[in-house]
Amino acid sequence: MQISESLFRLTDRNGASKVALVAGAASGIGQAAARGLAVAGAVVICADMNAQGAQETAQDIVGSGGQAEALTLNIVDQSQVTATIEGIHSRHGRIDVLVCTPAVNVRKPLLNYTGDEFDKVIGLNLKGSFLMAQAVGRVMNEQKSGSIILFSSIRSVTVEPGQGVYAATKAGLVQLARALAAELGGAGVRVNCIAPGIVETPLTAQIKNRPDWYDAYARKNALGRWAQADEMAGPVVFLASDAASYVTGAVLFVDGGWTAIDGRFTPPL
């Protein structure tokens, strides 16, 4: 591959825009990912259970000169996932990128978890991502190309009280991505995870409303602050593009150094 200014562009050799499907595009990291992919040249399919939010993201992209469309999608509904992927493939003839971001967290001790709460967290975070990756992976396997990007978390490797089931799903996504990378690599399909640290999104709103909790998390990482959702767009575009053509089965930590350091305390040396 010759290095050029188009290394991060999401267009093919003929200059045609690649097609990127973003699940969870109505808000937070998914919305930021959709915008970033559009700036890089992709046609972005903005999917979310929140139909209005998905439409607003798509309209924002189009209003900024990009290409996008919106659709309503519940990723835990297998028949709906299958029909949606078939519909996108039928309309566009290709799916080049999948970004899957939806997640839920029930913060409570494991001994107090109910079976329904467990099913809720596992169902969306792990099963939903699996259904999306499986359906899109089948398309990419046939077309012999593509990039699947699943969203894990720092909780895949480090945990705290109240995060057990959420952490289990995020660790599970890493192994799911690695298995898919192994199974689809021969077809030229890449599968990776992004593992964010603390990001200001609707999922973490309850923490932002607690200054002591919010500040404690900020002090845990090397940069001493929370991430903004837009800071996840660059890593997404990287993994989606030819710049990451030899990257698969990997976990890209985008955590401000959270998993690299032992808190913010500097001992007297």
Q: Return the axis-axis angle of helices 164-184 and 129-143, rounded to nearest 10°.
A: 10
User: Any idea how long the chain is?
Assistant: 269
- 166 flagged as catalytic: yes
Token digits of residue 171? 């660790």
220: helix, coil or strand? Answer: helix
CA-nearest of 113, 128, 116 to 164 is 113
Q: Catalytic pick from 113, 166, 214, 246?
A: 166
DSSP H helices in the chain: 28-39, 51-63, 78-92, 115-122, 129-143, 164-184, 205-208, 211-220, 233-240
What's CA 62's distance to the chain center, in Å? 22
Percentages (nearest 5) of helix, strand, coil residues in the chain: 50, 15, 35
The catalytic site residues sit at 166
